Structure 1
Amino acid sequence: MTKSNARAARQILDMNAYDAGQAGKNANPLLAQRIANVGAASVLFYREPIEVVSASGSWMTAADGTRYLDFYNNVLSVGHSHPRVVAAVTIQISRLNINSRYLNSVVDRYLDALKATLPDPLSNIVLSCSGSEANDLAIRIAAATSGGTGIIVSANAYHGNTSIISDISPSALKRGSLPDHVVTVAAPSSAGEHASIDDAFAAEIDRAIAELKRRGHSLSAFICDSIFSSDGVYADPPGFLRKGIDLVRKAGGIYIADEVQPGFARTGEAFWGFARHGVIPDIVTMGKPMGNGFPMSGLATRPALLERFCADTGYFSTFGGNPVAAAAGMAVLNVIEEERLQANALRQGNYIKERLRSLAEKDDRIADVRGAGLFLGIELSQPGRKDDPNAELATAVINGLKERRVLIGAAGTYGNTLKVRPPLSLSQEEADIFVDRLSETLADLPAKAAGKK
């Protein structure tokens, strides 16, 4: 451990967040109105929040006419306001929108198309409205199946905001500790004393299972986002999850793949993040990019698991599985296939990585560049000290890029990893804009501004 003040862990919603305490000092009436309306629950980005009025493709336009290149969110995965998705939603909502207690062919055509992207054993899908709901249901199904109570998550995981899911989202904690039934494992960042990252991660899983047992909890589930995005984006080597998952199943636990962020072709090499590791989950959860901005989520699992859960509890969502959501979801699947966006994610992601690694050779504050497809992490450190995280620099870069009309966020325990998630439709010209402006931003931030003592 170093003595750098950048070592302080950061809560995920505080990364790049607007300081609401400054609202009274800001002349923006809309900002003051938002703070007054939402209060302490308000979460806005940037030192000076942006009022966005329109968006198209990879670009967002602010009220003052400024256009921003969006490298921030993966919700609009096939591009902002994609005309195919807009048309599908418009046509369907003008025709019919009901809950899932009625038969409707739009919904079942979508479910069949979605199932075609998943491993055959995962033949039952439950639709809901948010990733939090999908993960909440997954944890409940796991408990009903395994009979256990213990949950294993990664050290800086974020899986949602229901009561059950907040308990297994360490990065959402502002104070206090995780419940007794939740044990964390270190992100797969290095092999350490082990022969490989595979072995190191399996050892972490083994340790967590033993710790749960010591506390009196048998294992219920291991849940992870298969690119470990909140931990700082760890994608490689492909296959490192297998040994750990074997241990989970040997202990009677369920493997839940949270694909809310890495799913739907974002990693380029595969449609689902877990597929890069050659594993088949017991449960897959999905959300954000499913409807390209239309609120929808889902859970896929083996019929036997769902039958066991529904025998005792059952599940129904009024808005989950409505035909407008299904129309949006089908349009997204069609656009990904017809516009070859998975291949584009791989191509543009590799191009950006190559350019970033060339930049890192010239700037020793870039400690690492990692990830898969268009889901990358750029780890920033103190100058020449790769193991000394530099959250100050990350914050300065984020705001410097904003001044250069590029939007990006942060991740990782210390908030020092830039999280790269542009739309899958990104062009090489837009990729170049991002890297060029990042280079300009770093060049304008001398070592002392990055926190060097």
Structure 2
Amino acid sequence: MAQDTFSKEETLAMRRRLIGHSCRLFYSDDPVKIIRARGQYLYDEHGKRYLDCISNVQHVGHCHPSITEVAAAQMDLLNINTRFLHDNMVQYADRLAASLPDKLCIFYFVNSGSEANDLALRLAQQYTQHQDVIVLDHAYHGHLMSLIDISPYKFRKLSGQKEWVHVAPLPDTYRGLYREDHPNPGDAYADTVKDLIDEVHSKGRKISAFFAESLPSVGGQIIMPQGYSTKVAEYVHSAGGVFVADEVQTGFGRVGTHFWAFQLQGEGFCPDIVTMGKPMGNGHPLACVATTVEIAGAFTANGVEYFNTFGGNPVSCAIGLAVLDVIEKEDLRRNATKVGAHLKQLLTQLQTRHDIIGHVRGIGLFVGLELVTDRRTRAPATKTAAEVVKRLKEQDRICVSTDGPWENVVKFKPPMCFSIQDADLVVRCIDRIITEMATSDLRLEKEDV
């Protein structure tokens, strides 16, 4: 086992010399060096413990013993190219199929969420024989060039929007076009997609896919209004396209009440393609695309073989199976429901005492706390949010981060073993920090966007 042989300063100096500077660290002004972890806790080189509120990759908890044991045992026995026949892949696919609607029964295993989304895009375009894609504003779907092209969060900072990419309004009922006072925001936002489809058709183009996270994360921990996805799917199908649900951030029970976030839209809704990634391997690179027999058949019919050397290898699938076992045995969906509701309730109570808290939203262990300088105008308190994150790390050793178009949403996506006591601690510390900032007359919000 490799030993920690460098001081934090030496490690940081080597990273700055050897690693691309665009690969940014958390807390870049004063990074944390983590050398071990367990459950929802991280430990630095001095043994100081940090509470992890953001590592949704380590879905069932850092270094879960059941998973590390299975991984080591399978690695010791066999790991091999996926073109050889092995039970783990088919057993894992069978377990995943049991969690999904019946029509989503064909699986492609890959190594990352980006790889999954790239393949989903290929599947949609091959099946429909169309190129154009509709995405949501502020969306992020991965770091491959194909995905930068359909991620407004990225392409607006780079070469801009391609002619085959069309951006629909983010269905945000707090600060979007249609808000909480609208009688039917789901239908209203869905109609913006219909209008966009009509606009595309007027240009002589055709839609291949509507591509969206089931709960937009980078967009600010957004909860889709009820009925939105069902109506969008109806419009997209009428236009000859398919509905792709990106569950890379939200799958595997994070929302608590359901295994997949798209299921929040009701039993009548089923995407045509579902992508999954981050939580699947609990830190091991494992991702997947699930789709229908018809879409998979069209992909096969193009005559070009698809293979993935590592995707679905015996070790990866053994780990994936172990993750599913832990979710079930430790009843982590129930924990997400209980702890998430408690966290949301505490944050809502906090909102009554601090005007800077504009909105609290979320479901299960997918929660956002939006800070504003003015509740009436809902102007984002970007610098204040950054200060809260900084103080939580420095004063309380609690790791959170921000998201949203203005980086003013403090987000919570912790490991699923996050506890009631952890939630109590986080909210108590946020309360103290906001109070300190107000009483010391530290009015960062005046400088905000």
* Contact 1:365–1:386 under 8 Å retained in 2: no
Identify if the C-alpha distance between structure 1 residues 195 and 383 changes in structure 2 by more than 3 Å, giving closer, same or farther: closer
Q: Supply the distance in 1 between the matched residues of 2:232 and 2:93 (Cα, whole angstroms).
A: 30
> In 2, are the aligned partners of 1:239 and 1:276 still within 8 Å (CA)?
no
Summarize the alignment of residues 42-61 of structure 1 with structure 2, pairs less than 5 Å apart: 42-46=23-27, 47-61=29-43
Judged with a 3 Å threshold, the aligned counterparts in structure 2 of structure 1 residues 350 and 386 are, in CA distance, closer, same or farther, namely: farther
Q: Say whether residues 1:282 and 2:276 are aligned partners.
A: no
Q: 1:387 — aligned with what? A: 378
Superposed, 1:324-343 pairs within 5 Å as 324-343=315-334
Show the counterpart of 1:188: 171
Take 2:110 and 2:220, find their aligned partners in 1: how far apart are those partners?
Answer: 28
Deviates more, 1:178-187 or 1:212-221: 212-221
Q: In structure 2, which of residues 216, 222, 225 is the aligned counterpart of residue 228 of structure 1?
A: 216
> What do the CA deviations read for 1:422-447 (whole angstroms, capped 9, x no partner)?
11111111111111111122122236
Task: Give the Cα–Cα distance (whole angstroms) in 2 for the partners of residues 211 and 291 of structure 1.
Answer: 41
Code of the residue aligned with 1:76 in structure 2: it is: Q
Deviation, structure 1 residue 208: 2.0
The residue matched to 2:130 in structure 1 has which SS? coil
Q: Report the Cα distance in structure 2 between the residues aligned to 1:298 and 1:306, rounded to whole angstroms.
A: 14
Match of 1:14 in 2: none
Task: Choose which of 343, 346, 364 in structure 2 pairs with 1:355.
Answer: 346
Q: Give, in angstroms, the shift of residue 27 of structure 1.
A: 8.8
Match of 1:310 in 2: 300
Tell me by how many angstroms 1:64 deviates: 2.3
CA contact (8 A) 1:236 1:371 kept: no
> 1:401-416 counterparts in 2 under 5 A?
401-403=392-394, 404-416=396-408
State the shift of 1:385 in Å: 4.2
Per-residue displacement from partner, 1:209-258 (whole Å, max 9, x unpaired)? 12323444210101111111111112254433211121111111110000
CA contact (8 A) 1:84 1:331 kept: yes
Find the counterpart in structure 2 of residue 147 from structure 1: 129
CA contact (8 A) 2:388 2:434 kept: yes
**What does residue 426 of structure 1 align with?**
418
Conservation of the 8 A alpha-carbon contact between 2:371 and 2:381: yes
* Alignment match, 2:428: 436
- Give CA-to-partner distance per residue, 1:361-403, whole Å, 9 cap, x none: 0001111011110001111100444510111111111111111
Which residue number corresponds to residue 452 of structure 1? 446
- 1:7 corresponds to which residue? none
What is the alpha-carbon distance in structure 2 between the residues aligned to residue 163 and residue 175 of structure 1? 11
* 1:45-444 alignment runs, 5 A limit: 45-46=26-27, 47-173=29-155, 174-190=157-173, 191-192=178-179, 195-278=183-266, 279-312=269-302, 313-385=304-376, 387-403=378-394, 404-444=396-436
The 3-state SS of whatever aligns with 2:323 is helix
Per-residue deviation, 1:194: 5.7
Distance in 1 (alpha carbons) for counterparts of 2:169 and 2:411: 19
Long gaps (5+) in structure 2: 1-6
TM-score, structure 1 normalization: 0.91
C-alpha spacing 1:259/1:27, structure 2 compared with 1 (3 Å): closer
Distance change >3 Å, CA 194–CA 250, structure 1 → 2? farther
CA RMSD of aligned residues (A): 1.7
Change (3 A) 1:224 1:236: closer
Amino acid at match of 2:219: D
Q: Secondary structure of 1:362's partner?
A: coil
Rounded to whole Å, the distance in 2 between the matches of 1:223 and 1:398 is 31
Paired amino acid for 1:407: C
Distance 1:304 1:27, change over 3 A: closer
SS at match of 2:446: coil
What SS does the corresponding residue of 1:440 show, helix, strand or coil? helix
**Identical-residue share of aligned pairs (%):** 39
For 1:80 and 1:27, locate their aligned partners in 2 and report how far apart those are by CA, in whole Å.
21
SS at match of 1:127: strand
> Number of residues paired by the alignment?
428
| Residue equivalent to 2:4 | none
Cα distance in 1 for residues equivalent to 2:8 and 2:49: 22
Asked if 2 retains the 8 angstrom alpha-carbon contact of 1:180 and 1:215, the reply is no
* Conserved? CA contact 2:382–2:408, under 8 Å: yes
3-state SS, counterpart of residue 28 of structure 1: helix
Alpha-carbon offset, residue 59 of structure 1: 0.3
- Whether the aligned pair in 2 keeps the contact of 1:150 and 1:182 (CA below 8 Å) is yes
Counterparts of 2:8 and 2:51 in 1: how far apart (Å)? 26
Q: Is the 8 A contact 1:227 1:371 kept in 2?
A: no
Q: In structure 2, how many angstroms separate the alpha carbons of the residues matched to 1:86 and 1:331?
A: 9
Secondary structure of the 1:444 match is helix
Question: Structure 1 runs of 4+ off > 6 angstroms?
Answer: none
For 2:375 and 2:344, the matched residues in 1 are separated by: 20
Q: Structure 1 residues 386, 407: CA separation in 2 closer, same or farther (over 3 Å shift)?
A: farther
Q: Deviations over 1:2-58 (max 9, x none)?
A: xxxxxxxxxxxxxxxxxxxxxxxx992211211211223322111211111000000
Matches of 1:236 and 1:219, distance apart in 2:
22
What is the distance in 2 between the residues matched to 1:236 and 1:182?
Answer: 21
Q: Shift in Å at residue 88 of structure 1?
A: 0.8
Letter matched to residue 275 of structure 1: Q
